[in-house]
Each structure stands twice: as structure tokens, then as C-alpha cells.
Amino acid sequence: MNTSRQLLLIINPVSGIGSKDTIEPLVRSRLEPLGFEISTAYTCAHGDATRLAGNAVDAGFYGVIAAGGDGTVNETAAALCHSNTALGIIPCGSGNGLARHLGIPLDPLSAVKIIAENHIVKSDYGAVNDMPFFCTFGVGFDAAVSSNFARQHRRGKLAYIKSAISEYIKFHPQVYTISANGHILTEKAFLIACCNASQYGNNAYIAPTASITDGLLDITIIHAGTPFDTALVGMDLFTGYINSNTMIHTFRAPSAVIYRQSEGPAHLDGEPVTIDDTMAIKCHANALPIFTPSREIEFRPIITPIENALKDLASSFNRLIARKV
């Protein structure tokens, strides 16, 4: 058991589109009265969050709070796996896939309240060729979109839509061989996603029923099809019905190997990487302590996406009002 009361707040100033000026005072005002000592650090470049969180683990901190998007969460969580230091999330990114999966609100005050509740769950995480991911890992179209998004000057949801459209126009599906659960499958795929959590971010449910505590990854293969087929898959991505789309093959596995002809692009939690032609994927069960809401949300197609879209609308509206006051 970790008896420390020290928390490190890591803020990525360039994640998402909003200002991060209110985050530190908010965290101090809510968590210091509960006896927590808060230290704050701002990231200056890729990799900083892993180094800072690693120092906090070595010093026996109770938790590290990542204020940023999935990239910041990935870098922070990478240092916390198999430790007694818990991950807190204040979603400030463009996609916020893991926070959305966990039901952590996008409003910073409500997100800090979740940390104050001190409800900690031991989550699984995935790794590909020993590189960790906490939400999704993918090759194919999603990797192309991540790479395009990383090159854009703007962040936020609209920038993702722009990246997806421009990559779709020039995208060519590749042939992959997948070995999992004693079966081997070769096919030309639009994308292959290995999911610890249910969504890419922005309520795009690539594996709607994925669980972060089942010791398994949900592997979703989208077959290469016509633009009409792809448009239907795109719709089902946002309604939560992707698993019943005929262009999808989905299964659960504790590990898998994906082969392709040569090394190439992939993404880890939305961050683009270049990865080998052989990808060894493994689920590490119950290895990352995370502050989560005490009530678990059950996914319901249509209903959950609509509820979450309304919450997004309310949170954008509140941000707009706060900016005007």
C-alpha cells in the first residue's frame, strides 16, 4: 500500500485547444484540503512526461496526474505500469480516448473531483514490441490519420476530421497476416486496431464493448471495401454498432502477432510511430493503477454515444461561457 500524500501534476501546454492556466489552481484548491501535497511540472517536449512520472515513481509518490490528451496520458502511464503510483487524468487533449472510456468528464473541475474520490482500479495495458499503449494501437488507415494529425499546426476535433478526409483520398489498404488464439488469418485490411479501451477518442467506438480489466485486447479488423462500405463503417463507429457491421471481423485475445511486408506507420494511442514488419502484441493484466469514477458505465449502442455527445456539447458551451465572463 502507498501511504504517501504526494501528487505530481504534469501539464502538457500544447495538448488540445484550450488554455491550461486554470488547471494548477483548480487541482491545488480541491486536493490540498484533502491532505495532498501537489508539485507541478509543464512538459516542454515529447518524452518529458515519462521522465517526470518516472522520477515521481522513484520518489514513492501516491499519484501522477496527466493534464493533456492521450499522448500525454500514454507517456505518463508508461512510467507508472507495475508501480504503486496511480494515474490521474484531467482530459485536455483533442481526442481524450482513455478518459472518455473511463467516464472521466471533460470538464476539469469534475475530473479533479474523480481524483478526490480516490477510487483506484488496476487497469490492463497493451504493448506492441514492448512499447505500451493504454487505449488503442493500430496499423492502416488510423495510423495514416495519426501521422497526418501530428503534422498539423492546429489541434482539436476539427483538425482530426480534416486529417481523416485528406488521408482517405490517397489511402491504399495493405495485406496483413494475423496470428492469435491459435488461428492464422491473411487479408487486405483497411485497418487493424488492437484495443485495451473502447474508443479512439471523440466518441469513435472502434471496440465498443472493450474492458480495461478483462486481461484481453479487443482486436478489430476492418476489411478493405468500397467507399460506400467505408462510409457505413464510419457511421457505425459513432453509433456503437461497429461489431455488427459486415465489413468487420472482431475477436478478443491476450496476445497476437501481426505481420506485414515491410516496416511502416502505426500509432500508439494516436501518436504516430514507425514500427517493424513483425508486431508482437500482448495484454498486461491489472498492471496500471488509475483513479476512475466509482460507478462503471455500461456501453449501450446509440444511447451511450448520444449521452456522450450531449455531454460534449454541454462542456463546449461551459467553456464558451467561461471565456466570455
Q: Round to whole Å and give the CA distance between 144 and 302.
A: 28
Residues 74-103 touching ligand ATP, rule: CB under 6 A, are 75, 93-96
User: Does position 196 bind ligand ATP by CB under 6 A?
Assistant: no
Q: Based on the shown chain and the rule CB under 6 A, indicate whether residue 153 belongs to the binding site for ligand ATP.
A: no
Shortest distance, position 93 Cβ to ligand ATP, whole Å? 3
> What is the phi/psi pair of residue 164, to 5°?
-65, -45
Q: Does 270 bind ligand ATP (CB under 6 A)?
A: yes
Rule CB under 6 A: is residue 15 a binding residue for ligand ATP? yes
Dihedral of the CA atoms 22, 27, 29, 30 (nearest 10)? 130
167 φψ region: left (φ > 0), alpha (ψ -120 to 50), beta (else): alpha
Query: In one letter, which amino acid is 273?
Result: V
**Between 15 and 85, whose beta carbon lies closer to ligand ATP?**
15
Residue number, 46 or 183, with CB nearest to ligand ATP: 46
For residue 231, the minimal CB distance to ligand ATP (Å) is 23
φ/ψ of 71, rounded to 5, equals -65, -45
Total residues in contact with ligand ATP, by rule CB under 6 A: 23
- Return the number of the residue (147 or 250) whose C-beta is nearest ligand ATP: 147
Site for ligand ATP in 32-61 (CB under 6 A): 43-46
Q: Give the separation between CA 65 and CA 50, rounded to whole angstroms.
A: 12
Shortest distance in whole angstroms from residue 66 CB to ligand ATP: 8
Rounded to whole angstroms, the Cα distance separating 160 from 237 reads 15
Q: Where are the beta strands (DSSP E) in 196-318?
A: 217-223, 248-253, 255-259, 264-268, 271-275, 278-291
Q: Is 271 in the site for ligand ATP (CB under 6 A)?
A: yes
Contact stretch for ligand ATP (CB under 6 A) within 12-20, 24-32, 277-285, 308-316: 12-20
Q: Which stretch binds ligand ATP (CB under 6 A): 7-15, 20-28, 207-215, 283-291?
A: 7-15
Q: Is 155 in the site for ligand ATP (CB under 6 A)?
A: yes
Contacting ligand ATP (CB under 6 A), which of 20, 56, 64, 71?
A: 71
Give the span between the Cα atoms of 71 and 4, in whole angstroms: 27
220 lies in the binding site for ligand ATP (CB under 6 A): no
Least distance in angstroms from the C-beta of 108 to ligand ATP = 14
Q: Is 13 in the site for ligand ATP (CB under 6 A)?
A: yes
* Residue 239 parent element (H or E): helix 227-239
Q: Which is nearer to ligand ATP, 94 or 220 (CB)?
A: 94
Of residues 176-195, those binding ligand ATP (CB under 6 A)? none
Which burial class, exposed, middle or buried, applies to 14 when counting CB atoms under 10 A from its CB (0-12, 13-18, 19+)?
middle
* Residue in the shown chain whose Cβ atom is closest to ligand ATP: 69
| Cβ neighbours of residue 299 closer than 8 Å, sequence gap 6 or more | 198, 205, 208, 209, 240
CA distance 249 to 18: 37
Question: Which residues are at the interface with ligand ATP (CB under 6 A)?
Answer: 12-16, 43-46, 68-72, 75, 93-96, 155, 201, 270-271
